[in-house]
Each structure stands twice: as C-alpha cells, then as structure tokens.
Structure 1
Amino acid sequence: MKKTEISIQKITNNDFLECIDMAALEAVYDVYLNCSKEFRISCTPENLEELIMGRLYTENRISGTEEMKEIIIREQEKEIHIKTEKEAGESQKKNQGKKKCYEGEAMTLFAAADKIFENPGELFRETGCAHCCALWKDGEILCCFEDIGRHNALDKAVGRALLQRVSLEDCVVFTSGRVSSDYLQKIVHAEIGTVVSRAAVTDLAADLARRNKITLYGFVRKGKGNCYSKETFSGKGGSA
C-alpha cells in the first residue's frame, strides 16, 4: 500500500469545502547493519528489500548480493535488520571505471525518456507526491519504481537489478528528479555510465559526471535536453 485517504479543506475563492484527498504514504524505518543502528530512512513503504539492497550498494557498503546474508523487516517496530559478510564500510567494488556510455545516442535516449516521463505511475497520478526512476538497457525498460524520495526510487531500481543478477554496467538511469552531487555519487558507486533526468543538474553533479566519465543529460523533455558530460562538448552525443 502506497497511498491513503485523508481529510482536507479545499479552498477556492475564499470558499472552504471539506473533502477527501489521496496522500502518499510515508514510513520511517530504523536500519540496523550487523546489529548496529546505521541510519533512518523515510520512504514509500513497499519494495523494501530492493530499497535496502540498492542503498547499501550505492553507498558502497556492499559490493554485491553475495555479501548479503539476511534482511529482516519488522513492520510493527518499523525496523530493518541486515546481516552481511563484512563489517560496514569494508566493501570495495571491483572493475570501477568500466562503464558503457551512450555517446551519440541522445535522440534514442530522449525518445525513451518521453515514454517514461510522460506516463507517470499510479502514486504520482493520484497524489502528485512521487519521483520515478527507471533502468533502461538495450532499448527496453528493465524496471521502474516510484517513491516519495528520488534517492529511494534510484535505490529500488538498482536493488531490483542486483537481485535479478542484471549487470548495471550497461544500464541507463532515467530519473524524474534533479541530479545533485550526492545523487550522482550513488551513480558512481553503482558503476552506471549514463543518467537522463527530466529535471535540473547542479554544477557539482556536472563536474562529478565529467571526472568519472559519466554521460549526464538534464531537462530532457519532448525530444530536447542538455548534456553536461565532456563527450558532448567534443562533438559526440546530443545537445538541446
């Protein structure tokens, strides 16, 4: 369940009308890693296994599903308990820097973006309170998740790929939210080579993308967009 009915007052021209509206559910969980409380997460309360798997991976706490021993979700206590093979912070991924970028394929990606962004999911349609994140590979959408948090939506998509043993190296991330440096850092840790956003890109995110050879597009709408990666400035890829 990701939405619920709430009572509101609708105000129009100084008229107050009591009515029922749909609101996105928000749940807050305390997350324990190897018996130590690590962080608290606020999210749409579904696909929690994907969320936690993706969060640990994009924060470089694990290098893959083989390090995960157990995920226990205690819904009543609002706690998530994780056991891994290594202590927190020990994991180091291999093959960093081996990314497949889609230079020269801006129009293909922009066409895919139109299909993804112009068809919002149920949570956004009914509440207006959700970000989406999709993983795209070889012309197909592998998965698409909604969440009240843009980071959470990314983590759920990455977590699904990990659980299904899909290589992230050849994937493209499509996100409805802005790309800031902390968001882009998760992309770096996930070893994904291309990001397409419907929203804005910060200067630090653009700099991080260039330094890590990640192709980064922003403001992608109706076949147009901006590219913030060095490849485009050298004549490869598309431009708005």
Structure 2
Amino acid sequence: MTQKISLKRPIVQYSDNQFQSVEDEIATEFPLTIYVNNDEFATIVCTPTFIKEMVIGFLASEGIIRFLSDIKNININEKRGLAYVNLYASQITNQHYYAKRFIGSCCGKSRQFYFYNDTKTAKTSKSTTTITPQQCISLMRQLQEKSNVFKKTGGVHNAALSTPSEMIVTHTDIGRHNALDKLYGHCLLNQIPVRDKILTFSGRISSEVLTKAAKIGVGIILSKSAPTDLAIKLADDLNITAVGFIRGNSFNVYSHSYRIVESTL
C-alpha cells in the first residue's frame, strides 16, 4: 500500500466578494508509531513518503543508533502506520535520557539544549566548506523551484542537502523535523559524507532545527525564514553558519560569517 502525499478535497472558497465550490489539494497527515526491539518508542505525525529514511534518520538523531549497521532489520506496515526496528543491541542505552529536559551552564557557554540526548548527539562542526552569496541565493531558488507539493498545498516543509553548486537530495514533509530526518536517513542509507555539505531549508531556524543540523553534521544552514535567539546562540557554540531571510538577492548571516566568501576559488 502506498500512501498519497496529498489529496483533493471539495471546499468552499471566498474570492472577489463571492463564494464558490472548488477542489483544493490538501497535504496528507499520517501517524507512524515506531517500535524499537518490540517496545513502543515514539509516534511521529508525518507525510507518508520515504518512511524508512525518516525512521533511520530519527533514530540516529535521537542517539538510539550511531551507524546503519546498528540496525538488524526494519519492517514497515504502512496500512497500520507501524514501523518495527530491531537493533543488534538488546537494550537502548540512553533511553533514560530520551525526552528528559537538560538544564545546565558551563562557564558562559550557551549550550542550552532542551534534552539530554541532544547533548550527546549534536556535533560541533569542523566543516571547511565555503559558499558565495550568489550560491546561497541560487540554492534557495532551486529549493523553491523544486517545492511542487508546497505549491499545490501550502502545507509542507522542504529541506535539501547540497554542495555549494548543486542539490544532492530534497525531501518534503508536513513536519520540518521529519524533513530533516529523511535527509539524515538518506545519507546513512547511501553512505553520503555530510561534513562538507550544506543544508537548505524552507522554514524558520529554531533551536530544534539548528540542533538537527548539528546532529546531521553540516556546517552551513540556509533558510528563507528567520532564526530564533537560542538557535543563534547554539550556532555560535556549535560552529555552524546560519543564514536566514534569503529572499530575492539579499540575506542575513547570523553566525560564523567566515564561510560566506566572495569567491570559492
């Protein structure tokens, strides 16, 4: 069974001082419950595409797995909305920390992670990749041009993994975190190195999105929207270049601007 990414629904539209009956394209919302070693672990509401990639990326992002080889097998029942993951390890070593709040301070550093597992899985970037202003604008334009589901529904987020000059893979989901997990899972499944790559994103850069970027391992994140103050603090600490408000021919650089250069030669 293959779930649809969107569905047509009859609606009543008001325009030009009158009502009319039309069909509209609506983004599909799909609940998926993940079992790890036969124990219920999490339920994710998502767009029902690239589910395997999303599950793998989610488990890696949460620190449940470190490598694809940690997984013994995955079985997905799309009809029932269930994913069964069996690991070679008999127990989840950091389950105690999953979804537990982390509150800490370290000599003026601002690593104010929400959860303990974030402190264990978010990586300080060592990326030496640089990008020109023109490439920032071009990548955002490419992402928007490829956003066919958003153009139809207006109800999804888009994320892409890129080199400075071209996109490698894009994913779409109603959840911005899910779109990033799908990218992460794709990289693990296809053994794509990420340190030298760039994350291009349609939504705002929240602290959670910035943390996801750090977990994936990229050094640059581009967005057409704004960052939050905590996201900027984390970007400063994790050596990630955060670029926002990429619209038209302008943008703002909020952290580690040394990666934005006039020429990559």
**TM-score, length basis structure 2:** 0.81
Q: Which moved more, 1:176-185 or 1:79-88?
A: 79-88
The 5 Å alignment of 1:1-240 reads 1-12=4-15, 15-86=18-89, 87-90=91-94, 96-97=123-124, 99-103=126-130, 105-117=132-144, 119-137=145-163, 139-229=165-255, 231-232=256-257, 237=260
- What are the ranges of 5 or more consecutive residues in structure 1 without an aligned counterpart? none
Q: Contact 2:204–2:225 at 8 Å: present in 1 too?
A: yes
Aligned partner of 2:18: which letter?
D
- What are the ranges of 5 or more consecutive residues in structure 2 without an aligned counterpart? 96-116
1:224 CA drift (Å): 1.5
- Look up the match of 2:101: none
CA 1:114/1:166 → structure 2, altered by over 3 Å: closer, same or farther? same
1:129 CA drift (Å): 1.2
SS of structure 1 residue aligned to 2:57: helix
1:115 CA drift (Å): 2.2
1:171 CA drift (Å): 1.1
Count of aligned residue pairs for this structure pair: 235
Aligned partner of 1:99: which letter?
K
CA 1:94/1:2 → structure 2, altered by over 3 Å: closer, same or farther? closer
Q: Which moved more, 1:86-95 or 1:155-164?
A: 86-95
Aligned partner of 1:148: which letter?
I
CA 1:174/1:79 → structure 2, altered by over 3 Å: closer, same or farther? same
Q: What value does the CA root-mean-square deviation take over the aligned residues?
A: 2.4
Aligned partner of 1:60: which letter?
G
CA distance in 1, matches of 2:93, 2:254: 31
SS of structure 1 residue aligned to 2:48: coil
CA 1:201/1:34 → structure 2, altered by over 3 Å: closer, same or farther? same
CA distance in 1, matches of 2:190, 2:166: 15
CA 1:12/1:25 → structure 2, altered by over 3 Å: closer, same or farther? same
1:89 CA drift (Å): 4.6
Deviations 1:12-55 (A, max 9, x none): 35533222211111111111111111111111111001111111
- Look up the match of 2:113: none
CA distance in 2, matches of 1:236, 1:5: 43
Aligned partner of 1:61: which letter?
I
CA distance in 2, matches of 1:236, 1:163: 28
